[in-house]
Structure 1
Amino acid sequence: MGIPTLHVADGLATIQLNRPNTLNALTSDGTQSNTDLSDALSSHSKILVALLNGPAIGIAAAMLGHFDFIYAMPQAWIAVPFSFIGLTSEQNASVTFANRMGLAKATEVLLWGRKMSAEELERNGFVNQIFCAEDTSSFHRLVREYLLDRIDGLDPAALLSTKRMIQAAVHEKNDPRVVNFRESFAQAERFAGVRERWRVIVLSTNCYRGFLTLSTMSLANRDQKFLDADEKASRSPSSETKAFEQPAPAFVNDEGLPVDEDKELTLHRGLKARQISMIALGGAVGTGLIIGSGTALRRGGPLGLLLGYSFVGFVCFMVMTSLGEMAAGYATRFVDPALGFALGWNYLMKYLIVTPNQVLVKWQRTSLTENNGYATRFVDPALGFALGWNYLMKYLIVTPNNINAAGVVIRYWDVHGKVHIAVWMVILIALIFFINLLGIRVFGELEFWLSSIKVLALIGLILMGIIIDLGGNPRGDRLGFRYWDPDNVENAPMGIYKTTGSKGIFLGFWAVMVNALFAYMGTELIGVTVGEAQNPRKNIPKAIKRTFWRILVFYVGGVFVIGLIVPSTDQNLFVATSAKTGAAASPFVVAANLVHIRVLPHIINAVILIFVMSAANSDLYIGSRTLFALAAEGKAPRIFKMVNRHGTPWPALLFCTAFCFLTFLNVQKSGAQVFTYFVNLVTFFGATTWMCIVYTHIRFMKALKAQGISRDQLPYRAPFQPWGAWFALVVTFVITFFKGFDTLMTPVNIPNFITSYIGAPVFGFMWLGYKLWYKTKVIPPHEVDLITGKREIDEEEEQYLAQQAALGPLTLLAYAYIISPEVVQQTFFTPIAYLTTSIVKASIHTPQSSQTVSMASQSISRSVTKKVYAAETPEGAGAVVRRSIGSMSLRNLSPFLMLDHFHLTPGSGFPDHPHRGQATVTYMIEGSSQHEDSAGHKGKIGPGDVQWMIAGKGIVHAEMPLFLPDEPNPMGMQLWIDLPKEHKMTAPTYQELSRNEIPTAFPEGPDGPIQVKVISGKSFGVESPVKHLGGCWYMDFQFKASETTVFQDLPAGWTAFLYILKGSLKVNGSESHEQFHTLVLSCEKSENGVLITSTSSDARAVLIAGEPLDQPVFQYGPFVMTTREEVQQTLMDYSAGKNGFENAHIWKSKIGSSLM
């Protein structure tokens, strides 16, 4: 075997491993044969151990106060807080390094270019614990006890869901020979960048039933060793490090080949939350509104201007809602580069943003090819490719357009051209180039202030216009709607363009819509606050509402004010047909001049210059990052992947800057004419993006329908669909197709015609070329991927809610402890370390009688206290479930632990997994399933059948689907119920009822509109034979008509909830609740039941109620006990095969073998 080698760069360390391994030898009681680990242990009399390596164990070790050193990855080790495992003997210092997926054995260890013995490892702090064991069995016992005691039995098998977080730190192809240190550091920042001696970390790992689940919150009492790049650069190495330090190795590319430091690294994360929000707000306001609206006013008149901008604004809103519906339901980590805000800004969010005030930032580096965007995913990869380049070309053109607009604005002060326009062009291009070259920190701070000025200035301009109109001007002239009156302004309130009469009015209005389409380009940048929103299901609808109000206030409000204060016939308005650029390019400047405000026009013009320069600066930034992203995906030359030490992709920046020199057309043509050329190009590229967004949304809705998924299940449902998307698609296409109508009218304008339509063949060439070369096809609706990304957004929501809950009451205490731990310890008698319990305790409820409480004579209904949507998520082996109870947003609803609404397809199921301490209730709604357990029990659960299993002291079983002729795919419910403490170690038992054996109640008679299947408990005089060890009622309500009401008695004080399987219903006369929602009911002593009313003719819901248990809950996946020690004993019993798990270590089911 080769020697594991540790490398150091900028204070960070990495070890290269050789080949894969397994942790079985460390997680079972006996020695696994034929493993490097067992061979090593058999010859060692003294064993040196730190901690097991794994994607979350290293984090837990850091939280618990161990040293920072190395964190392991599959086939590579990177530097983040971690304590590694080393197995060594005293004599020959042979070492075996192990992690969850890799093991390498060597006779010596090379650290910083020097071979180190076990004593040196311990002396230098690389190992924190030594175990003396005479044989492998003793060693395994010691290690297991140590782990259970220090990290609460964290099992490596439970950490699969955290693996992807750590994989982000290795270069995109995860080359086993090398590690990209810049990315290693970026990953380490999440855990070591907290600059307090005390910190709160929320770590949540959820996995399917066969694995173990840990939810832990910990306060780490230790002095941090910050892995911050700036601090590392300035900090002197430790004495131990200096002795062995070697020159930093070259950085590497994705093929593992060394490259210079300033070439191919990664982008830096440097934008702050305040910068993101302000850039998003100011980014949608540019030259189209501030300058281009003058052209629209001249052609369409004030009424045409208002109607045109309002109409296109509605189209824009439809596009944003379409995008929002897809974004809310399906997380696309690296969204397609064409979809408006997606590439560029979502890319910016993913790579560059450090989100402040988060305890644990879930940041992940993912390539475009791994998580394709919506167009690629829902339509055709060829469309995604064409859109990517279309989006890039938009920014290649819009940047010189803004430079040209800046030159137009500057001409206001240099009417006679004393300084040649080319000089201004060079100065402006150089300025934005160097700002972008300096990196994200300079760009972010400057753009924050520029955007702030833009937003405040636009609000000020609108208010100024209102004041001028109402007479607040030097002339004291109240304008009102004077310029809308045809007696004062010719052809008012509509304008006339190209010809006379009604035809001229129509052409004028159409010209306004073309101009408005350009003005709204960039509104999709508002989506930057959506791309990485915390709790997106809550925040995306808010962002869409903000989009509506921004359109209404900034755009519609702005052009309305312009139409009030400037006559459409004013010769100073910026019109593309003028021979030379007017002195006052903006209608706001024209308005100030008309009322003789002498200084104000200069101030307004200066503000407008800031507008266009800010737009040019951000457009160059987005264009260079877009090109960088395309190169990273392999859709552009790889030279554009290179970045400098500031994290700036300088080849991409140079390429985009070169296009800025198109503004030199202004030297020969008038600025107005060049502005029109650029407007034509940008409008087509932007309109193409809009059309593809809504077309992708249409395909998305078709895929939902084809796969039987209702849009009601989505977190955000776009209004006016599907006709809203079709309307936006048709209108955008028609405006784009006819936007160059004036170029063919006398006199014919060939340059305008070319710039209006040249984008069409370019886009077609990109789409067709990619399609023919890669032989892609349009994805059929039933094959569209509607799973990927959904689980991530579910987990993000759960993590967000968990963080909010965790940071609530403990935040003040934690910060106080940072400042003065002695005071806190003196104030609070219980040591704060007690709060770091890793296994979550459930809320303890008031004890209730085990006897059913007598029903009161008067019916008092419960009401809904909490409503949670059960989103689909992958579970088990290929299965899909809706988790009603047991998610982060709805846990510890004693005595209930979990309720899953599952759907099974061929190739899915729940293979062998254990249980102890709870009951599981399986209720098949459609189709059949089969089960088999380690006690020899097996059988079939048919449609409508129920299996009530008391797991008791332990059982291992498998639950697999049966696909029978004339039966639909299996679908059902599985409920987990906590057992009272005195029954947790009872022998496993089954109670099984066929559908014919489940009693049914008919509140309004057998022919009535409602029936109740009484799985357990009582309903309308009907009682189920099922007896649970603890109080539990379980009923299935099926309605046949809308507005049917039923009152179901419930024991007072019991926990109760409804899960809606189908249709909709109301509780106690409240609002209607839709399918797949869980409704937690109130629990007042005076309430003796629940009033349920169907609001659809096919409503169906399960009502479940149970007596709360006066006991803590320590849950470790499928093991549910009342103390930590009992959980530890359960793990040992399961591993040793005793106390209920006698056959567990040798038994394997037949029905689950295909998925094991």
Structure 2
Amino acid sequence: MASPSNGAGTKHGYGLEVSRDDSPDLEQPRRAGGHGVVDDDHQGDFVTLYEERDLSRGLHQRHVSLIALAGAIGTGLFLGLGSSIQTGGPLGALLGYATIGLIVCAVQFALGEVTALLPVTGSFVRHAEFLVDPALGFAIGYNIVYGNWLSVPSEISAICVLFEYWTDINASVWIVLTIVVTFVVGISLIRIYGEVEFFFAILKILLIIFLIILGLVINLGGIPGHPRIGFRYWKTPGPFVEYIAAGRWGQFLGYWAVMTNAVFSFAGVESVAMAAAETRNPRRAIPNACKRVFARVSLFYILAVLIVGMLVASDDPRLNDESGTAAQSPFVIAASAAGIKAIPSVVNAILITSAWSSSNQALLAGTRVLYSLALKGQAPRVLLRTTSWGIPYVCVLIQTAFMFLAFMSLSSGALTVFYWFVDLVAAGVLISWITILLNHQRLMMAMKKQDLPLERLPWHNGWTVYSTPVALFFCVVILFTAGFAVFTTGNWSSSSFVSSYLDIPLVLVAFLAWKFFKKTRMVTLADIPLREALDAVERSPEAPEPEREGWKKWVNVLWD
């Protein structure tokens, strides 16, 4: 398998690049996939011939929609809501999640608009090079890669903790089994990955709907022998919780602390476009997924926060359970209080599938970003090697090696250190969102600079011109205030400070280092080749999806 050279090339399709390498397996310039030719060099900023030829477009609309849904709905929803209620109170938590939900909406629509124009592997990492600066793509790319290298073993460690709820079997058994199964899914056809995530997402959706309905039944007194609760806990102990400070300021800080926690609950929605070059009709499928995933995730989270705030008091001592199993879920606490004994095991089982689903998604995101970095000459060329069925297997093997860090969970001391390292990359979620919004803002500015009407974009919503800068401002503010508690009297913690802020200088150092060694410059708005990208879109219209009929039309409402 040959790799692209650092020299000039010729583009095909969405701007497909043929390297002028002497490797015999590269074909001469031709039409790839039936698309028109773009004779210019952007060094892989458009979809390259390698993606068109070596990757398989095995993901459908339903896969893409539910991959993002599966990634965003997990322990943050099933376990984390109790902590949010404790910190901000029922109303503070509701407002915090609603605020982040609006920011996620702006992020998703910004991502959808840029991806519809540039449906490339690596998503916003490659977009950053095209619209901002190659150094930014390098820095963000490696930030995502090492974040995913650590997140997979952390999810495997979580699975071990969850199995301890039922059995005392040595955790190493679960670690080995999870590594093997995760690797098998990661190295298999992309269609198999899509079907696995599709199945898990359906499980999560059904469980959430069930828990919300069950919560309403318990709250309204539908369980024999248990009185109606209503909004009792909104009155006592109250709708807000004072956090660190007293009075209104303390209540605001509680709300703000919930908002920073909510960011990480929504993490994963941005991965919807990571495998754009492996998606059928990506210019239509991914924007649709961005729009619909936001609506579903926001609806589930807002309803769940509302129900939990009605079921469990913010000062309930049972919320202090730190077992990491279903026992600490506020849904389980409410169900147990109502005498329903089967719920804990059901929730624990879904949590295990959620953790494994998250590890699968981290494997996909990490390997595709690493592959995209190799396309740009920012990673070793050997990473471009793919299987005959279109999987970058060298990238998968490297990330699989990092899964064995999960064996650190066998030592409690090592586990503490390991999770401290995992916390170091938590800010990467916000940095990714900031990059997506910055890419979109630059696209809007370049369209204006080059006198191109926004209506020429494959997918555009008029209000994103305003929502993007507002969301970008809030993301930057939240990023720099995520660890505000350590700056208050008596709350200083070196580990908390480092875990909240170290990722910022790491990204800056990577950005400046690549800029210094490669002498990169910020792309001027006038020089961004938007006309070529727009011309490629018009030359290559995607075929419309066939109309669904009968029962398929009603089932498709879950993802269409």
TM-score with structure 2 setting the length:
0.81
For the pair 1:473 / 2:223, whether they are aligned, the reply is yes
Identify if the C-alpha distance between structure 1 residues 403 and 506 changes in structure 2 by more than 3 Å, giving closer, same or farther. farther
**1:951 maps to what in 2?**
none
Alignment RMSD: 3.8
Q: Is the 8 A contact 2:457 2:534 kept in 1?
A: no
**SS state at 1:736 partner:** helix
2:162–2:324: 8 Å Cα contact kept in structure 1? no
CA distance in structure 2 between the partners assigned to 1:719 and 1:482 by the alignment:
42
Contact 1:404 1:674 in 2 (8 A): no
Partner SS, residue 327 of structure 2: coil
State the match for 2:12 in structure 1: 164
Kindly indicate whether residue 411 of structure 2 is the aligned counterpart of residue 623 of structure 1.
Answer: no
Is 1:401 matched with 2:154?
yes
Q: Give the Cα–Cα distance (whole angstroms) in 2 for the partners of residues 683 and 470 of structure 1.
A: 38
Unaligned runs of 5+ in 1: 1-160, 191-202, 208-253, 255-264, 344-372, 806-1156
- 2:209 is matched with 459
CA offsets 1:515-543 (integer angstroms, 9 cap, x no match): 11111111123447987574947x77654
Choose the corresponding residue for 1:381, options 123, 130, 134: 134
* Equivalent AA in structure 1 for residue 265 of structure 2: A
Residue 711 (structure 1) aligns with: 454
Q: Please give the residue correspondences for 1:790-809 in structure 2 after superposition, counting only pairs within 5 Å.
A: 790-797=534-541, 800=543
Q: Which residue of 2 aligns with 1:1078?
A: none
Alignment of 1:834-849 (within 5 A): none
Give the whole-Å Cα distance in 2 for the aligned partners of 1:205 and 1:773. Answer: 35
The answer to whether the 8 A contact 2:86-2:319 is kept is yes
What is the identity, as a one-letter code, of the residue corresponding to 2:517?
W
Q: What is the rounded CA distance, in whole Å, between the counterparts of 1:729 and 1:528 in structure 2? A: 21
- Equivalent-residue separation in structure 1 for 2:414 and 2:162 (angstroms): 10
Taking the aligned partners of 2:390 and 2:457, their CA distance within structure 1 comes to 38
Q: Does 1:288 align with 2:76?
A: yes
Structure with greater helix percent: 2
CA distance in 2, matches of 1:574, 1:288: 16
Question: Which residue of structure 2 aligns with residue 278 of structure 1?
Answer: 66
Please give the alpha-carbon distance, in whole angstroms, between the structure 2 residues aligned to 1:177 and 1:386.
Answer: 30
Contact 1:284–1:520, Cα closer than 8 Å, also in 2: yes
Aligned partner of 1:334 among 120, 123, 132 = 120
Aligned to 1:513: 259
Question: What is the CA-CA distance between 1:751 and the residue it aligns to?
Answer: 2.1
Alignment correspondent of 1:633:
376
Question: Superposed, which structure 2 residues align to 1:269-668 within 5 Å?
Answer: 269-271=57-59, 274-328=62-116, 331-334=117-120, 337=122, 339=124, 373-414=126-167, 418-486=168-236, 490=237, 492-527=238-273, 534=281, 536=283, 542-573=288-319, 581=324, 584-644=327-387, 647-664=390-407, 666-668=409-411
**Higher relative contact order, structure no. (Cα contacts within 8 Å, ≥ 6 residues apart):** 2
- C-alpha displacement of 1:483: 2.1
Q: 1:652 to 1:300 in 2, by over 3 A?
A: same
**Secondary structure of residue in 2 paired with 1:636:** coil
Contact 2:15–2:37 (CA under 8 A) maintained in structure 1: no
Contact 1:572 1:583 (8 Å CA) reproduced: no
Asked whether the 8 Å contact 1:326–1:697 carries over to 2, the reply is: yes
> Alpha-carbon deviation of 1:682?
4.3
Alpha-carbon contact 2:76-2:264 (below 8 Å) kept: yes
Q: In 1, distance between residues paired with 2:239 and 2:414?
A: 28
- More off after superposition, 678-687 vs 527-536: 527-536
On the 8 A contact 2:275/2:368 being kept in 1, the answer is no
Contact 2:233/2:239, CA 8 A, preserved across alignment: yes
Q: 1:787 and 2:531 equivalent?
A: yes
Residues 761 and 509 of structure 1, relative CA distance in 2, 3 Å threshold: same
Which SS does the other structure have where 2:319 is aligned?
Answer: coil
Query: In terms of Rg, which structure is larger?
Result: 1
Asked whether the equivalents of residues 158 and 324 of structure 2 are also in contact (C-alpha less than 8 Å), the reply is no
1:1077-1156 to structure 2, matched below 5 A, reads none
Deviates most, 420-429 or 754-763? 420-429
Secondary structure, aligned partner of 1:690: helix
| Cα distance change on mapping 1:676 and 1:467 into 2, 3 Å | farther
Opposite residue 120 of structure 2, the aligned amino acid is: F
Letter in 2 for 1:511: A
The AA in structure 1 aligned to 2:198 is F
**What is the CA-CA distance between 1:728 and the residue it aligns to?**
1.0
Greater strand fraction, Structure 1 or Structure 2 = 1
Matched with 1:766 is 510
* Equivalent position SS for 2:25: coil
Aligned AA (2:429): G
Partner-residue secondary structure (3-state), 1:787: helix
Note the C-alpha offset of 1:786: 1.7
Q: Deviation of residue 266 (structure 1)? A: 3.9
By how many angstroms is 1:512 displaced? 0.7
Contact 1:338 1:384 in 2 (8 A): no
TM-score w.r.t. the length of structure 1 is 0.41
Distance, in Å, in 2 between the alignment partners of 1:660 and 1:574 is 30
1:665–1:559 distance in 2 versus 1, CA, 3 Å:
farther
In structure 2, C-alpha distance between the alignment counterparts of 1:477 and 1:804, rounded to whole Å: 51
Check whether the contact 1:333–1:789 (CA below 8 A) recurs between aligned residues.
no
